Structure 1
Amino acid sequence: MATIHAFGPFRLDADTRILFRDAEPTVLGQRAVALLGLLLERAGAPVSKETLIEAAWPGLAIEDSNLTVQIAALRRVFEEAAGGAAWIETLPRRGYRYVGPAVATVHSGDEAGPASPTLALPDKPSVAVLPFANLSGDPEQAYFVDGIVEDVIAGLSRIKWLFVAACNSSFTYKGRGVDIKQAGRELGVRYLLQGSLRKDGNRVRISAQMIEAETGRHVWAERFDRAFDDIFALQDEIALSVVGAIEPSLRSVEIERVTRKRPDSLDAYDLVLQSQADVYSGMPDRVTRALVLLEQALALDPVYPLAHAFSAMCHHCLFLRAGLREESRAASVGHARTAIMHGQDDALALTFAGFSIGMDGHDHPAAFAALEAALAISPSSALTYIVGGVMFGWAGQAERAIEWGERAMRLSPFDPWAWSACHALTLGHFQRDRWGEAAKAALKAVQLNPGHSISHMLLAAPLAKLGRLEEARAAAARVLELQPTFRYSRQFAGVDCAPALAASLGEALRATGLPE
């Protein structure tokens, strides 16, 4: 059960040991966070030096000056808030006491919690499609239900005048009760589509409704009962109906835009859906498992664009994280080129294929052309902005990296790929010598995906530039714990890092002791 201490504009997540100001993480070391957690737990009461030292340096004998340094770091963070420097009171020869704003401690199981962030509505119609309930009575059909929803989202995303929240954000509501008004505020959309699906033999039955989030008013509701063989037409029908509910006069002119080319084999489509979770994991053992399914799909439909794009991503993972073998790199680029050749109307295929060509083929013009084509098809594709921002970052295009990273975070605020958008922001700010902003973005990437070694590397570099060498070295040590054979020169070569960026990052990382 997660524990959150909220006070003033700050929020301490006691489990991840990250202090937030509003929605942004602060750059604060783990020992300072440990001290703060104890002071907040005993707010208003004195805490002895001995107790604090044991909390931050368990089992170690250290000088009191180390404690003083960490308390000073906390006070510097609080100085940004009115009167914050006095929130931690020194008790001479005794210890310290927290005397700041009232502390509200909330556990994840409590009915009430800290207020959720609110996103401003876009200046055009906006919709999020929430996960559909699986009423089939078969948990194994969950992947199929999710795939239907993702395809509806993809269809809606092709409409240029419509803002569509990414599925990775809306899927955070899967399996739990949804407060419509709260979800609308959190996702920054005016309308929410929710529904259920039951697959019974060769029939698929879908119930769907669209609700105006602010008022709870039902805008549209419909039931669909179709043969399984007609599932693609069914998905397009739902997408078109939602469009019609938002802007009836534009329905006819958007029909061609929403209707998409489909794979010839329904079995291949099903195999690709089943592979998706492992493809997205970015872990060598899991993408190897995904490749088995994707090979079966391509045997059924040899020119299936998304199957080729997913295969490219799997081989990219194996290349970068499992030995930099030439056969993995060549397979990544080969599948990516095939995906682009046959997937000119598939935004997701173009996105992943462009990423693989850029990162593994080092062909940036072809890569960015693929991403621009994806956005022409699906302007609300957060994933396109995420992977594009990363490529811009490593290519040395700082402002584009920041622009695309921020756009991705706005489109999909809870995206499980958001750590990668944070990489783009880190690289962009680092190149502009904004070390604090770079460290903040990298810290958020670590929070979102603590098992990814590159996030820790990207945190170590700006911390070193800030002179926070103890924390930078701790981040570098974590890189080697996660990836013992890591060498930053190999990473730079693998992603075709811009020479000036590689020189600046390398200088910072050498100071952390990370091997070149």
Structure 2
Amino acid sequence: MPKSLAFGPFRLDTDTGILFHGVEPTPLGQRAVALLALLVEQAGTPVPKEALVEAAWPRQAIEDSNLTVQIAAVRRLFEQLAGGASWIETLPRRGYRYVGPAVTAGGGDPTVGAAARAILTPDKPSVAVLPFSNLSGDPEQDYFADGMVDDIITGLARINWLLVIARNSTFTYKGRAVDVKQVGRELGVRYVLEGSVRRAGGHVRVTGQMIDASTGAHVWAERYDRSSDDIFALQDEIAISAVGAIAPSLRRAEIDRVKRRRPDNLDAYDLVLRAQLDVDSGMPEQVTRALVLLEHAIELDPTYALAHGNAAMCHHCLFLRSGLQEANRAASIRYARSAILHGQDDASALTLAGFSLGMDAHDRNAAFTALEAALAISPSSALTYILGSVVLGWSGEAERAIEWSERGMRLSPFDPWAFAAFDAQAMSHLLRGRYDEACRAAYKSVQANPAHSITYVQLAAALAKLGRLDEARAAAARVRELHPTFRYGRQFAAVNCDPALAECLGDALHAAGLPE
């Protein structure tokens, strides 16, 4: 198949699996893109349903409704962006046919052409913990089941020899019926842990099973009935049992690494679980809402490190995205220091604290003391590598930033923080004069988080460096739309940007039309 297929206002890059509308990547999913690629490549020719299913769901038996849903998504996108709902014709009982604008094939845009790497199963034991089903009959209890899985992942990640996929990737499967073998292929793991939680009154029942993803065979299964008061011991027990199923000869000392200090107050723990999604959004309105819960959690348990770390991240977001107010920067630093003080054995708290110290306190030494301590506790912490890559990127440590971002993406291939890893890559390639690679990473960042202005900052700079000024100005216009008060000089000062990087980015952003 050609690397690039252009039709109407669209261009489909078959290497990256991204459909572009002009210079903007669209949010079309991987299966829909696979179907579209086959239809457009065979424009004007009927494509049987069987061929389409094999393209998007290789070697799987699926209901026709799955194909119908994906085709509908493509038509909806065409209608919204180009009035082209009729470009894909239904052939009853046969298949579909592309009948839209003429298609031209090419070698692809060099800025967006790198083939995605296959995720290979590593040599060492590897595991993905899928979201547990909430069988309580109350959707409001979802957060509790999710918190159970979070703690199991965190416990497993403390085992040095075990590669554990981050929850941000495994939770993309939430609410979906999954084929464990397919999950193993998509995430590159040997084992998959799945289960369910039923919570009623003061009682909890948890079931778990470990499956060999290569064969589908059950390695381990267990059911636990406990009171809610014993929830932390239960989480440890499940994590220990799962690890023991992978390596029966595991030494007792390594099993004990799974156990860790817990917050003293269960209500505080509950509040942090409820705040987590809003913290992770990185959007000012949501993090403001999260701060109310986190501050209450800290009132209940002043030594709860993860509550302090999340609060630091909230204030970091408000500082950079809500006017660079000094009060937010100071609060970010204050909460980060508290997280480190109380979280010497909490990798998540140390990661968030290290990021805030590096970005807001401009203390890169303190930042990496915390980040490296987090990795010593939890070697499979994808977020540590991703956020660390951002600090390295703005510090001008280009090659190390790229290395850390790639490690983070390997541990969590579908991470919602992927845009940050791609941003780190984009600015690092720019600094080294690799403008094609910078543009490619920036496009991926935009696709991963089209609501974040910094992704378009990197894209505008990369396009300007390539001499594609019309496209650079279009990206710059998107920056101003998302962040009307953006001034690159102020932004560089806020994050203590490396002088050489500031000069490189500044020249490009000036050419793209962004104000200093």
- TM-score, with length taken from structure 2: 0.83
- The answer on whether the counterparts of 1:394 and 1:497 sit within 8 Å (CA) in structure 2 is yes
**What SS is found at the alignment partner of 1:176?**
coil
2:23 to 3, 27, 30: 30
Q: Distance in 2 between matches of 1:31 and 1:373?
A: 39
| Unpaired segments ≥5 residues, structure 2 | 27-35, 46-79, 84-101
Matched, 1:142 2:135: no
Taking a change above 3 Å as real, the CA distance of residues 283 and 32 of structure 1, as seen in their structure-2 partners, is: closer
Matched, 1:234 2:234: yes
Please show how residues 106-505 of structure 1 align to structure 2 within 5 Å: 118-505=118-505
Q: Distance in 2 between matches of 1:32 and 1:186?
A: 22
**What SS is found at the alignment partner of 2:204?**
strand
Q: Distance in 1 between matches of 2:172 and 2:11?
A: 21
Deviation at 1:431, TM superposition (A): 1.2
**What SS is found at the alignment partner of 2:257?**
helix
- The answer on whether the counterparts of 2:126 and 2:191 sit within 8 Å (CA) in structure 1 is yes
1:21 to 14, 24, 49: 14
Deviation per residue, 1:122-161 (Å, 9 max, x gap): 1200000000000000000111110110110000000000
Q: Distance in 1 between matches of 2:104 and 2:308?
A: 50
Q: Distance in 2 between matches of 1:458 and 1:329?
A: 23
Q: Distance in 2 between matches of 1:122 and 1:373?
A: 24
The one-letter amino acid of 1:437's match is E
Taking a change above 3 Å as real, the CA distance of residues 79 and 351 of structure 1, as seen in their structure-2 partners, is: closer
Taking a change above 3 Å as real, the CA distance of residues 79 and 330 of structure 1, as seen in their structure-2 partners, is: closer
**What SS is found at the alignment partner of 1:258?**
coil
- The answer on whether the counterparts of 1:25 and 1:440 sit within 8 Å (CA) in structure 2 is no
- The answer on whether the counterparts of 2:2 and 2:106 sit within 8 Å (CA) in structure 1 is no
Deviation at 1:79, TM superposition (A): 9.8
**What SS is found at the alignment partner of 2:421?**
helix
Q: Distance in 1 between matches of 2:143 and 2:5?
A: 35
Deviation per residue, 1:176-207 (Å, 9 max, x gap): 11011111000000000000000011011000
**What SS is found at the alignment partner of 2:178?**
coil
Matched, 1:77 2:108: yes
- The answer on whether the counterparts of 2:5 and 2:103 sit within 8 Å (CA) in structure 1 is no
The one-letter amino acid of 1:299's match is E
Deviation at 1:117, TM superposition (A): 7.6
Which stretch shows the higher mean deviation, 422-431 or 384-393?
Answer: 422-431
Taking a change above 3 Å as real, the CA distance of residues 79 and 458 of structure 1, as seen in their structure-2 partners, is: closer
Deviation at 1:323, TM superposition (A): 1.0
- The answer on whether the counterparts of 1:312 and 1:334 sit within 8 Å (CA) in structure 2 is yes
Q: Distance in 2 between matches of 1:219 and 1:11?
A: 45
**What SS is found at the alignment partner of 1:319?**
helix
> What's the counterpart of residue 75 of structure 2?
none
Q: Distance in 2 between matches of 1:236 and 1:72?
A: 56
- The answer on whether the counterparts of 1:180 and 1:216 sit within 8 Å (CA) in structure 2 is yes
Q: Distance in 2 between matches of 1:420 and 1:12?
A: 29
Q: Distance in 2 between matches of 1:316 and 1:79?
A: 35
- The answer on whether the counterparts of 1:480 and 1:486 sit within 8 Å (CA) in structure 2 is yes
- The answer on whether the counterparts of 1:127 and 1:193 sit within 8 Å (CA) in structure 2 is yes
Q: Distance in 2 between matches of 1:130 and 1:72?
A: 41
Taking a change above 3 Å as real, the CA distance of residues 184 and 18 of structure 1, as seen in their structure-2 partners, is: farther
Deviation at 1:491, TM superposition (A): 1.2
The one-letter amino acid of 2:328's match is S
Taking a change above 3 Å as real, the CA distance of residues 429 and 271 of structure 1, as seen in their structure-2 partners, is: same
Q: Distance in 1 between matches of 2:130 and 2:25?
A: 39
Q: Distance in 2 between matches of 1:276 and 1:187?
A: 23
| Unpaired segments ≥5 residues, structure 1 | 1-6, 46-54, 59-70, 81-115
Deviation per residue, 1:301-353 (Å, 9 max, x gap): 01110000000001111111111111110000000001001101000000000
- The answer on whether the counterparts of 2:4 and 2:11 sit within 8 Å (CA) in structure 1 is no
Deviation at 1:56, TM superposition (A): 9.9
Q: Distance in 2 between matches of 1:208 and 1:240?
A: 12
Deviation at 1:424, TM superposition (A): 1.0
> What's the counterpart of residue 51 of structure 2?
none
Q: Distance in 2 between matches of 1:287 and 1:210?
A: 35
Deviation at 1:253, TM superposition (A): 2.3
Q: Distance in 2 between matches of 1:43 and 1:79?
A: 24
Deviation per residue, 1:274-320 (Å, 9 max, x gap): 00011111111111111110111011101110000000001111111
- TM-score, with length taken from structure 1: 0.83
Alpha-carbon RMSD: 3.0
The one-letter amino acid of 2:258's match is V
Deviation per residue, 1:364-421 (Å, 9 max, x gap): 0000110000000000000000000000000000001100011111110011111111
**What SS is found at the alignment partner of 2:197?**
strand
Deviation at 1:252, TM superposition (A): 1.6
Deviation per residue, 1:24-47 (Å, 9 max, x gap): 6599943999xx99x9388259xx
The one-letter amino acid of 1:230's match is D
Q: Distance in 2 between matches of 1:158 and 1:32?
A: 37
The one-letter amino acid of 2:12's match is L
Taking a change above 3 Å as real, the CA distance of residues 483 and 414 of structure 1, as seen in their structure-2 partners, is: same
Taking a change above 3 Å as real, the CA distance of residues 432 and 28 of structure 1, as seen in their structure-2 partners, is: farther
- The answer on whether the counterparts of 1:127 and 1:189 sit within 8 Å (CA) in structure 2 is yes
